[in-house]
Chains A and B, each alone.
Chain A
Amino acid sequence: MTDLLEKFPDVRLHEQQDWPTLQVPLQNWLDVARHLRDTEGYNLMLDLTAVDWPNRPEGRFDLVLHLRRLPTGEGLRCTTVLNGMVSGDRAATDAGSVRAPSLHAIWQAAEWAEREVYDLFGITFDGHPDLRRILLPEDWEGHPLRRDYPLEGPRALDPASKYAH
């Protein structure tokens, strides 16, 4: 890991957490990922997800990446903070204001994982070959896993919606 920390001086390694965790600035996200796969041998992308901290000044969303190095299985977590002003109208479709680079060219598994993060959080992945909703219907409005989206969804937001039953 010393190679990586030398090559990317703004990356922080936290070793006291349950998994070693790299805190990566967004501008290094794609290059660090490539380095991790090609040089450090983290061949398995377990998962890519997001966490929403709506009132956090440094940035609303965390992107969290979990990796393993097979066959031995050491795990690594990478996180980055996405800065972005999100529209105050929570039911509106995201206008692409929160963006991150897509990792699909490094791990094929990222293709579907990023689609899900787009669908449920409204984060746009630049360079993704097919960024569209994966779990919700195509014409759904809003991103349900955001903390300001109500649990009941359309029933609470727009009772006249066809999804309000």
Chain B
Amino acid sequence: MAVSDGTPFILTTVEQMARWGQKNSIWPLTMGLACCAIEMMSLVTPRFDSARFGAEVFRASPRQADLMIVSGRVCHKMVPVIKQLYEQMPEPKWVMSMGSCACSGGVFNNYAVVQGVDQILPVDIYVPGCPPTPEQVLEAILQLRDQIGKGDPKAGLPIIKVAQ
């Protein structure tokens, strides 16, 4: 256990234990928007079983969730709702942009769809696909776990672009 930055040994251990706990119990928020939501539902079913990676329950209340999986196209009317849900989530929290629509607007480059949820929220991991298979989302959860385990420096980063 390196303490090269001068942090006392005991605090480093506590931090590592906290990170271990966080990464092994990521509880997603039910934020199913469109088609990707169905693949997200498939994720908890026995064949793909996200529970074995700690995502035991999907919580409907943002107060009890760690990970907001934005699954589907983000439309203008939904933007204030998503922002409010994100604000309601307690720290530490992460955002996964699931599906091409959430990553960049996907197939819909038109008046109705926000061109990527990162226009309104900081995203920690992007999963392209239309929709991505549940295996791809699992891979993303595993990568996110690694990020968290290493001490995610992005927590609390300012939002990339804010539409007023």
The answer to whether A and B touch directly, with their CB atoms under 8 angstroms apart, is yes
Q: A136-B76, A137-B76, A165-B115 are in contact. Are A153 and B161 (CB under 8 A)?
A: no
In-complex Cβ contact of A154 among B77, B111, B161 (8 A): B111
Interface size on B, residues (CB 8 A): 13
For residue B4, CB closer than 8 A to chain A, the reply is no
Q: Tell which of B76, B111, B112 has the most Cβ of chain A within 10 Å.
A: B111
Residue of A nearest to B164 (CB): A162
CA distance in complex: A164, B77 (Å): 13
CB proximity of B159 to chain A, nearest CB, Å: 12
Q: Tell me if A19 is interfacial: C-beta within 8 Å of chain B.
A: no
Q: Is the CB of A165 within 8 A of B114?
A: yes
User: Across the interface, which residues of A come within 8 angstroms of B164, CB to CB?
Assistant: 162
* B157 CB within 8 Å of chain A: no
- Chain A binding site: helix, strand, loop or mixed by DSSP? loop
- List the A side residues contacting B77 at CB < 8 Å: 136-137
Contact of A165 among B109, B112, B163 (CB under 8 A): B163
B16 / chain A contacts, CB cutoff of 8 Å: none
Measured between alpha carbons, how far is A150 from B119 in the docked complex, in Å? 21
* Chain A 147-165 near chain B by CB (<8 Å), digits 1 or 0: 0011111110000001111
**CB distance A144 to B115 under 8 Å?**
no
The answer to whether the Cβ of B69 comes within 8 Å of any Cβ in the partner chain is no
| Chain A minimum-CB-distance residue to B109 | A152
How many A residues, CB 8 Å from partner? 15
The distance from the CB of B124 to the nearest CB of chain A, in whole angstroms, is: 20
Residue in B110, B112, B161, B163 whose CB lies within 8 Å of A162: B163
Task: Given A136-B77, A137-B76, A137-B77, answer yes or no on A165-B161 (Cβ-Cβ < 8 Å).
Answer: yes
Cβ of B111 and Cβ of A151 under 8 Å apart?
A: yes
Contacts of A163 in B (CB 8 A): 76, 111, 163
Interface Cβ pair total, 8 Å cutoff:
33
Residues of B within 8 A of A140 (CB): 76
SS class of chain B's interface: helix, strand, loop or mixed?
A: loop
Min CB gap A135→B, angstroms: 8
A140 CA / B112 CA spacing, docked (Å): 11
Any A CB within 8 A of the CB of B127: no
Most A Cβ at <10 Å: residue of B109, B110, B120, B161? B110
- A155 vs B108: C-alpha distance in the bound complex, in angstroms? 13
Residue of A nearest to B108 (CB): A151
Chain A residues in 8 Å Cβ range of B163: 162-165
Q: Indicate if the CB atoms of A151 and B114 lie closer than 8 Å.
A: no
Query: In the complex the two chains form, what is the Cα distance from A107 to B153 in whole Å?
Result: 58
Question: In the complex, what residues of B have CB within 8 A of residue A165's CB?
Answer: 114-115, 119-120, 161, 163
Chain A residues near B76: list those with CB within 8 A: 136-137, 140, 163
Within 8 A of A (CB), among B88-108: none
Contacts of B112 in A (CB 8 A): 136, 144, 153
**Which 8 residue pairs across A and B have the least CB separation, nearest first?**
A153-B111, A165-B163, A165-B119, A137-B77, A151-B110, A144-B111, A163-B76, A162-B163
* Cβ contacts A to B, 8 pairs, < 8 Å: A136-B77, A136-B112, A137-B77, A150-B111, A152-B110, A165-B115, A165-B119, A165-B163
